Amino acid sequence: MGATKTDHFTDEQNKIAIIAKALGHPARVAIIEYLLKVNTCICGDIVNELPLAQATVSQHLKELKNAGLIKGNIEGTAICYCIDENTFAILKEYFSKIIVTVTNQKCC
C-alpha cells in the first residue's frame, strides 16, 4: 500500500495543517473569538451567539475539538467548552518563527 500524502511531511507540519484547516471556517473563528471574549467554560451559550443551527454549531465544535483548539468537559448533561492553551502555544511558536524570519529577511 502506498504512502499517504501526510507521510511525506513532518509531524509538526501535519499538526499545523490540521489546526489551520480547523480555523479555515468563519464560524469556527467566531467560536474561538467568543470563547476568548467570555474567558470561561461555556456549556451552551455558543448556539445563541451564532446564526447557525444547533447541529451545525455542534459539528464546528467537534472539528475545533478534534484539532485540539478547544477542550470539552462533560458537566451533567452538557459539554462545557474552553480554549486549549497548549495548541495556541504551538501556534504562537510556529508563527513567531515565521515573523522573526520574515522580519530579518533581505528579499524582494
For the whole model, what pTM was predicted?
A: 0.84
Looking at the predicted structure, is the pLDDT value of residue 87 above 90? yes
pLDDT of residue 2: 54
Smallest Cα–Cα separation from 71: which of 60, 54, 85? 85
Separation of alpha carbons 23 and 32, rounded Å: 9
Separation of alpha carbons 25 and 105, rounded Å: 31
Which set of grid coordinates corresponds to residue 103? 522580519
Higher pLDDT, 72 or 92: 92
Query: Tens digit of pLDDT for each residue in 46-78?
Result: 888 899 998 999 999 999 999 999 998 887 778
Cross-strand bridge partners of residue 42: 81
Separation of alpha carbons 27 and 61, rounded Å: 10
